Amino acid sequence: MSSKPFWKTKALSEMSEAEWESLCDGCGRCCVIGLEDEDTGEQYMTDLSCKLFDAGACGCGDYANRFEKVDDCTKLTPENVPDLYWLPPTCAYRLVAQGRDLYWWHPLKSGDPETVHASGASVRGKVKPERGQKVRTLMRHIVDYPEPAARAPRKVRK
């Protein structure tokens, strides 16, 4: 039996459902409405989220029924993750697909689901639900989300 964590020893397609679900760090960034410039392909994120997103809990408010309630909700699969350009660069699914390790703040590494929020990686409290705005209105909501700290903060000795 390997002493390495499952995300370092298994491909996405080899993971159990529980392992797959635990890869989600709870950042909520995949639930943020993004825009793409048709001419350049450049991606822009907004401060608007899917109508089902619970900004306080930083997760889907109806995860079990999300595909029935949101037409363009995308089910992540081992096959499509490498092609989903809109997943944030910190996304555990993307990182594992690329053979990279998870960030220090990921709950599987830190043991604490709050580190993703403390690190600045999540959109908790930073977004509001999209309510059918027109594209022109959506453009007014473009924001830059800072990249989270790549390293854990140093502990200060007393």
**pLDDT tens track for 57-94:** 999 999 999 999 999 899 999 999 999 988 999 999 99
* Whole-number Å distance between alpha carbons of 30 and 61: 14
DSSP element (H, E) containing 53: strand 53-54
DSSP 153: P
Q: What is the DSSP letter of 158?
A: -
Nearest to 52, CA basis, from 27, 71, 34, 35 = 71
**Bridge partners (DSSP) listed for residue 46:** 142
Look at the alpha carbons of 59, 62, 65, 71 in this order and tell me if their dihedral is positive or negative. negative
Give residue-wise pLDDT tens across range 90-142.
999 999 999 999 999 999 999 999 999 999 899 998 998 887 777 778 878 88
Q: Which two tokens stand for residue 50?
A: 């899917």
Distance between CA atoms of residues 59 and 29, nearest Å: 10
Please state the rounded mean pLDDT for residues 44-60: 91
Q: What is the pLDDT of residue 31?
A: 93
The conformation of residue 47, written as its DSSP 8-state character, comes to E
Q: What is this structure's pTM?
A: 0.85
Q: Among residues of the chain, what percentage have pLDDT more than 90?
A: 65
Split at pLDDT 50, 70, 90, the class of 154 is low
Q: What is the largest CA-CA distance in the chain?
A: 55
Give the whole-angstrom CA distance, residue 80 versus residue 8.
Answer: 19
Q: Tokens 């491909």 appear where?
A: 11
Segments of 85-149 assigned E as strands: 128-129, 142-143
